[in-house]
Amino acid sequence: MARTVHLAVYDTLADWEPGHATAWLARAGHEIRTVGATTDPVATIGGMRIVPDLALEELRPEDSALLILPGGDLWDTGDDLAPFAAAARRFLDAGVPVAAICGATAGLAREGLLDDRAHTSAVSFYLAATGYKGGEHYVDADAVTDKGADGAGDLITAGPTEPVAFAREVLGRMGAFEGARLDAWYRLFHDSDPAAYEELNA
């Protein structure tokens, strides 16, 4: 399986949303590569400057184990990020997982990718405002993994306040942690459970 994980980056990217997932995937041996609309630098909401490793036109599902789409203000202010949602469609069609959080879920909704898949987001009416047809598949949960069908890739979704739950689904899907160790990781970073540290590092 490809060991490269692609993280989409764009102006207004929400800094806090992908960090747990990318850090622990890297620790598990995955290479994290950033992909922008071009290779021009972008600036996150927090003002961090990121120079993308590659441009979106160079991104191929067959070179990737996962595409992560963070939230960002631009998802809700126009169509600038629509090409990233289109890339997500190509990944899912090729059987490669996609993980989207916060505003990126609205981008996927506009692309029609949530019409037939279990998913979540900030709140149901946030996605309803996109005019999508998948309201009956909305799940009121911190994070949701839809296993896909007919060879389509898995889709992970979460709302903006759940970066740890989002990472739990990503890390589990990618095999970074499994079973009791995945549960311990979540309890440590979500619940600040000191006992989980010993379990995670046993």
Active-site positions read 102
**Three-class DSSP category at 185:** helix
Backbone conformation region of residue 158, classed left if phi is above 0, alpha if psi is from -120 to 50, else beta:
beta
Radius of gyration of the chain from its Cα atoms, rounded to whole angstroms: 16
Q: How far is the CA of 150 from the CAs of 107, 142, 147, 153, in angstroms?
A: 23, 26, 10, 9
What DSSP string describes 51-97?
--SEEGGG--GGG-SEEEE--BGGGGSSSTTHHHHHHHHHHHHTT--
Kindly tell me the sign of the dihedral angle through the C-alpha atoms of 72, 31, 163, 152.
Answer: positive
CA distances from residue 98 to 88, 190, 194, 196 in whole angstroms, order as listed: 6, 23, 32, 28
